Amino acid sequence: MKLTASRVIFTDKCQSHLEEFSPDPLGPEQILVENEYSMISPGTELAIYMKTHVNFTDPTATWPRYPYRPGYSSVGRVVAAGANVKTPKVGDRVAHRLPHASHAALDTAKQTCLPVQDRIDPKHALFFTFGSISATAVYVRHLPLENVLVLGAGIIGNMAGQLFNAHGTPKLLLADISPARLAIANRCGIPNTINMKTENLAESVSRLTDQKGVSIVVEATGVPSLVVTALETVNRLGEVILLGSTRGVVELNVYKLIHSKSTLLTGAHAGTFPEKQTPGFATWRDGTAQETLDLITAGRINCAPLITHVISPSQFAEAYDGLAHKQEQYLGVVVDWKKLR
């Protein structure tokens, strides 16, 4: 008897629903995971749902397109394994990057599958993917760690701040326009925050760094105008790292903001790191993903304050609407797939 599973699909702009499917028979290197939780990405996933992703208006781009099955962070228990699979074993809890679904079949030889210890809240393990994305900014930087400013206190910006701190940043600043998100950052162990709605950014950076300024600015929102803000704020001979996927065209004075300041402008897309091991490079599976999960397990990254909602799979549309229009209330939305059973 075939297993009937459920997954999320986007059929058009702001149109999502659950569809039933039957996982294919397992290959020798595959495992079947019965997911407990998955987590909505308030960045790329929401942009695809809202059809604001920049690639929708790029005639040369083939991704994303509808229909689209979203999601890239899930955790669950292994319920079946192929003949050649030694680990993980049936009953083990694992974290993986497959889309939102009640069940997922993945190839252990090719796809990220990380063991999750029972001593941590499995919902916290979901942040391994988001931390892996944020860790890109830490690894692609060209300058030594001095004072760092992160623009954006969403999940990616918050995780970037925590990761820079974990790597020994002397002074980490985090700026946003949302008091609620800045309060969450404080609860996550980031005390030096700036409300860009009520404070002058340049003056606050100078005050918090004893007039030393910041040598690295990480743009973690994707808002085009903040690329200019980052370049204006960073010290001369500094570096601006573009961690957020910019949602539109950026207009800037290249001579004033890059050339004359000798500023480095560095892209930090998560695709920088390959899935499989390449000499000289960190990887998702063995580098950034595992490091992030290890830091979460050790309690050095605090995820609990980032979770604002735990929903049933029937509430996806409500969650996307909240993430898009109620950003003071919605940030980390976890989907509880056990509510389908």
Q: What is the pLDDT along the chain (341 residues), one digit of tens a residue?
A: 578 999 999 999 999 999 999 999 999 999 999 999 999 999 889 999 999 998 999 999 999 999 999 999 999 999 999 999 999 999 999 999 999 999 999 999 888 899 999 999 999 999 999 999 999 999 899 999 999 999 999 999 999 999 999 999 999 999 999 999 999 999 999 999 999 999 999 999 999 999 999 999 999 999 999 999 999 999 999 999 999 988 888 999 999 999 999 999 999 987 776 555 444 444 555 568 888 999 999 999 999 999 999 999 999 999 999 999 999 999 999 999 999 98
Domain boundary among 249, 272, 295: 272
Cβ contacts of residue 170 below 8 Å, gap of 6+? 145, 146, 147
Whole-structure pTM value: 0.92
Q: Are residues 138 and 121 in the same domain?
A: no
* Whole-number Å distance between alpha carbons of 230 and 19: 42
Q: Are residues 53 and 19 in the same domain?
A: yes
* Whole-number Å distance between alpha carbons of 180 and 317: 23
Q: Are residues 179 and 219 in the same domain?
A: yes
Residue 227: per-residue pLDDT: 97
Neighbour-count burial of 91, counting CB atoms closer than 10 A to its CB (0-12 exposed, 13-18 middle, 19+ buried):
exposed
Q: Are residues 227 and 119 in the same domain?
A: no
- Unique residue bearing structure tokens 């402008």: 265
H/E stretch holding 10 reads strand 5-12
In a domain, 288, yes or no: no
Write the CATH number for 266. 3.40.50.720
In a domain, 74, yes or no: yes
Residue 279: per-residue pLDDT: 46
Amino acid at 144: P
Task: Give which of 97, 157, 103 is closest to 285, Cα–Cα.
Answer: 97
* Whole-number Å distance between alpha carbons of 275 and 284: 5
How far, in Å, are 88, 144, 153 from residue 204 at the CA level? 49, 23, 16
* Whole-number Å distance between alpha carbons of 286 and 48: 28
Residue 285: per-residue pLDDT: 52
Q: Are residues 317 and 235 in the same domain?
A: no
Q: Are residues 102 and 214 in the same domain?
A: no
What's the CA angle centered on 153, arms 287 and 242, to 5 degrees? 55
Residue 287: per-residue pLDDT: 66
Q: Are residues 264 and 313 in the same domain?
A: no
* Whole-number Å distance between alpha carbons of 309 and 328: 12
Neighbour-count burial of 52, counting CB atoms closer than 10 A to its CB (0-12 exposed, 13-18 middle, 19+ buried):
middle
Q: Are residues 163 and 265 in the same domain?
A: yes
Number of structural domains (the chain) is 2
Q: Are residues 156 and 254 in the same domain?
A: yes
Domain boundary among 272, 295, 330: 272
**Structural tokens at position 211:** 């007039």
In a domain, 58, yes or no: yes
* Domain housing 94: 5-126+303-340
Domain boundary among 223, 252, 272: 272
Looking from the CA of 164 toward its CB, the CA atoms found within 13 Å total: 30
In a domain, 285, yes or no: no
Q: Are residues 334 and 249 in the same domain?
A: no
In a domain, 287, yes or no: no
Write the CATH number for 65. 3.90.180.10
Q: Are residues 104 and 167 in the same domain?
A: no
In a domain, 115, yes or no: yes
Torsions phi, psi for 334 (to 5 deg): -105, 135
In a domain, 89, yes or no: yes
**Structural tokens at position 215:** 């040598």
Q: Are residues 105 and 235 in the same domain?
A: no
In a domain, 294, yes or no: no
Q: Cα(first)–Cα(last) distance of the chain, in Å? A: 17
